[in-house]
Structure 1
Amino acid sequence: MSILLLDVDGTLIDSLPGIQRGFRHTLDLLGWPHPDQEFTDRIAGPPMETTLRSLGMSEELAQEGLQIYLEYTRRGGWADAATFPGTLELVRRWKSAGLTLATATSKGESFARQILEREGFLEHIDFLGAAQEDGPRRRKSAVIEHVLATNGWRVDTSDILMIGDRSHDIEGAAEHGIDTVAVAWGYGTPAEWATAAHTAHTPEDLEGIVHDWLA
């Protein structure tokens, strides 16, 4: 069995516009100053409470902010996103080729399901692995553990490949002995990609890397 673990935000879906609007809305309600644009351009990927804590918020305030952000997302913020060109076609080809596909996203489970269904990905995904919106499964490593344990995929880790765009994808997969392909069309930096086993600059690059990995 060859298994691909797919990040969502920054890998399959360009969700940054909606995440940024929800982030700014959260800061406004908390009365917290906005960071600079460079910071805001890097917020997609990690759990929102992690981002809020990195601004200097206490754990209590970050959790309050998380609830504000989740409510914004439930009211429609999840829909402010679009598919990266070429990624849906790539997922279709992988599924047709017999690969097992699962998401491993820090996005909340209901939000991930809604956007992946709307954009046409969900029918090609064997298992939707996502974070809990209100629960302990928030970090990428915990999401991957959930995916592996739920499906009984205690296989040789050489049979599993993570595809993501940020350092937390790479680090979370590494905790399970899984290599990562970093995609350069997402929200990471060259320094983050350098820690991955491979870097794909286009969907065609990614298809070639996966092809070679399967060989």
Structure 2
Amino acid sequence: MDDFLSDRTPPEGRSILFLDIDGTLLDSYPGIRAGFLHALDTIDVEYPDEQFLARLAGPPMEHTLAALGLDDATVRRGFDAYMDFTSGGGWAQAEVFPGMTDFLAGARSAGYYLATASSKGEGFARRILQRTGLIEDLDFLGAAQEYGPRRTKEKVIAHVLDSLGLHERRHEILMVGDRSYDIQGAAHFSIDAVATEWGYGHEGEWQSARFRVTDADQLKEVVHDWTIDG
């Protein structure tokens, strides 16, 4: 599957945005929550409280299942059940956050190079981005593997950097995401981050982000003012 969505590689001297999907571009929580509960039903595990459920979007699902104290075999059965639910239509239970369609189109028109860097499985990411039309303004699809070693945010970001040859141009990149996984994953590579407060994170997750925004209009302003030299 070709991750390049346009003929462009990141042009010299242009800023680059790495974009999280779940909680940043898309409100995909309903499908993730339904898939998780289906997985728990399948392995006969009691539902955790709503505080736990509210943090489902972000980490790899196998990590979330393991956080319930399940053994490896049960985690694997639960993960397989979650993937079956998602493949069967759960992936489509997502809608674009207000203003993000226009934000992507504007950023693309302004010359930014737009790549996703998402822990969402790459097949599911492609399908939902196609359904919502967001894929039309993206240059590169960076996502996790449904089954494979590229599952964490750091590994996804490393994959995008490797694929686009950007390790020496990290100062030209701004990561946009809602969870600590996005912010800390970017920091691992000395990449600046902006926290989107409309997603699934909370106050404590945004402290180390260089910027914080509350809506798409504010994100547009931050990106406009952000420069390669910082």
Is 1:68 the equivalent of 2:81? yes
Quick one: distance in 1 between partners of 2:99 and 2:89? Answer: 25
Aligned residues: 215
Q: Which residue of structure 2 aligns with residue 129 of structure 1? A: 142
Deviation at 1:197, TM superposition (A): 1.0
Structure 2 equivalent of residue 41 of structure 1: 54
> Could you tell me which of 30, 35, 51 is aligned with 2:64?
51
1:47-103 CA-to-partner distances (Å, cap 9, x unmatched) read: 101111111112332222111111110000000110001001000000001110000
Distance 2:162 2:39 in 1: 34
For residues 142-198 of structure 1, the C-alpha deviation after alignment (integer angstroms, 9 at most, x for no partner) is: 000001101112233220010000001111111111111000000000110112111
**Does 2:187 match 1:174?**
yes
- What's the counterpart of residue 115 of structure 1? 128
Q: Which runs of 5+ in 2 are unaligned?
A: 1-13
Match of residue 204 from structure 2: 191
Letter of the 2:150 counterpart: R
Counterpart residue number, 1:16: 29
Deviation at 1:36, TM superposition (A): 0.5
After the TM superposition, list the runs of 4 or more consecutive aligned residues in structure 1 that deviate by more than 4 angstroms: none
Q: Distance in 1 between matches of 2:74 and 2:193?
A: 33
Query: Which letter maps to 2:53?
Result: T
Q: TM-score, normalised by structure 2?
A: 0.91
Kindly indicate whether residue 210 of structure 2 is the aligned counterpart of residue 207 of structure 1: no
Q: CA deviation at 1:214?
A: 2.6
TM-score (norm 1): 0.97
Partner of 2:5: none
Aligned letter for 1:8?
I
Partners of 1:136 and 1:54 lie apart in 2 by 19
Distance 1:59 1:47 in 2: 15
Consecutive unaligned residues in structure 1, runs of 5 or more: none
**Secondary structure class of the residue paired with 1:214:** coil
Q: Distance in 2 between matches of 1:8 and 1:207?
A: 17
Which amino acid in structure 2 is aligned with residue 70 of structure 1?
M
